[in-house]
């Protein structure tokens, strides 16, 4: 993006001392947020949150040192937005995995401050590229609030004249000290589809420990979760609204070897915990209807 455009965006949206648009990796524009309680950043590319931390605390999100930073590619790490399908598109193997909104520039709509929080609003919608993949009229409005908690609100509007069926996921890469020593609490007894085992349905017993490749879609669950990291001495609390599924993923060594945008051994430094509406929990939206999925991420000391 040209410096003039960044200058123009700052003229329209910057909050001096709290939020400004700067040139990020790959010369992609990002909104940089600094408040007395937190810092964070979100790229216009994919409306992709790539950092959030409470003031004086450790980064909460993982970001690959080998990520691509270009139009048409997804950033590896942070919070990719998966829409309007999850994983491969069922009827078109050539379609981009996880849909087409995480690999394109969104429009910056607003930056507002409320006390010590800053909220950034971005939007995208159908265009000639998207209708090639998915013949639907839609608009997404994503609002991210950076404060002592991180609040995500993804609103989907059906702006067409026919009903929509879509999947969505906020594919959050949580930074961990080492994958061997973390656990995810809150899914005990919940059914999940194991994508490492032909999506067979299984039941979770106790906390989720990651001891091999994990790719589990927990279905019909609105439970709040906790990611416990003894070495970082913190608990990440994840609560969600209007999300009926949660996906837990780590590629492990063998899966990571297939990912050119992940550094050596970086697979040990994250776990994805994804608030979502996927597989049997996909959303149906009548014309003019709107659906908002919300996620609240907080940090507490262990």
Q: Which of 140, 272, 281, 293 binds ligand TA6 (CB under 6 A)?
A: 272
Query: Quick one: 51 or 250, whose CB is closer to ligand TA6?
Result: 250
Site track 131-170 with ligand TA6 (rule: CB under 6 A), x = hit:
----------------------------------------
Residue 154's nearest CA partner among 51, 22, 276 is 276
Round to whole Å and give the CA distance between 73 and 43. 13
Round to whole Å and give the CA distance between 224 and 138. 29
Round to whole Å and give the CA distance between 182 and 62. 15
Is residue 74 at the binding interface for ligand TA6, with CB under 6 A as the rule? Answer: yes
Residue with tokens 């939007």: 123
Site track 174-203 with ligand TA6 (rule: CB under 6 A), x = hit:
---------------------x--------
Q: Could you please report the per-residue DSSP string of 157-182?
A: EE-SSS-EEE-EEE--EEE-S-GGG-
Q: Is 197 helix (H, G, I), strand (E, B) or coil?
A: coil
Query: Quick one: 215 or 266, whose CB is closer to ligand TA6?
Result: 215
Query: Quick one: 258 or 286, whose CB is closer to ligand TA6?
Result: 258
Q: Which of 87, 185, 223, 237 binds ligand TA6 (CB under 6 A)?
A: 87
DSSP H or E run through 62: none
Q: Which of 142, 173, 249, 270 binds ligand TA6 (CB under 6 A)?
A: 249
Q: Return residues touching ligand TA6 (CB under 6 A).
A: 74, 87, 97-98, 171, 195, 215, 247, 249, 272, 274
């Amino acid at each position: 993006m040209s410096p003039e455009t960044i200058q123009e965006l700052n003229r329209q949206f910057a909050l001096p001392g709290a939020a400004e648009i700067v040139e990020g990796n790959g010369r992609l524009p990002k909104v940089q947020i600094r408040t007395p309680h937190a810092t964070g950043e979100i790229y216009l590319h994919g409306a992709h949150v790539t950092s959030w931390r409470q003031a004086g605390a450790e980064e909460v999100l993982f970001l690959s040192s080998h990520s691509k930073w270009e139009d048409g590619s997804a950033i590896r790490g942070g919070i990719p937005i998966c829409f309007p399908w999850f994983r491969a598109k069922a009827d078109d193997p050539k379609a981009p995995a996880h849909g087409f909104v995480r690999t394109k520039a969104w429009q910056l709509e607003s930056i507002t401050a409320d006390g010590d929080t800053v909220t950034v609003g971005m939007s995208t919608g159908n265009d000639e590229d998207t209708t090639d993949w998915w013949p639907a009229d839609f608009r997404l409005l994503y609002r991210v609030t950076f404060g002592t908690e991180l609040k995500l609100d993804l609103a989907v509007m059906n702006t067409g004249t026919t009903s929509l069926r879509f999947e969505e996921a906020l594919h959050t890469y949580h930074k961990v000290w080492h994958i061997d020593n973390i656990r995810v609490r809150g899914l005990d007894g919940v059914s999940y589809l194991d994508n490492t085992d032909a999506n067979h349905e299984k039941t979770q017993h106790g906390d989720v420990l990651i001891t091999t490749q994990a790719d589990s879609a927990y279905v019909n669950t609105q439970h709040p979760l906790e990611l416990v990291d003894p070495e970082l001495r913190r608990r990440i609390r994840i609560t969600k609204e209007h999300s009926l599924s949660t996906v837990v993923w780590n590629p492990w060594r063998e899966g990571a070897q297939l990912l050119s945008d992940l550094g050596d051994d970086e697979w040990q430094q994250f776990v994805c915990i994804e608030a979502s509406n996927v597989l049997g929990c996909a959303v149906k939206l009548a014309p003019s209807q709107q659906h908002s999925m919300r996620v609240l991420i907080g940090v507490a000391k262990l």
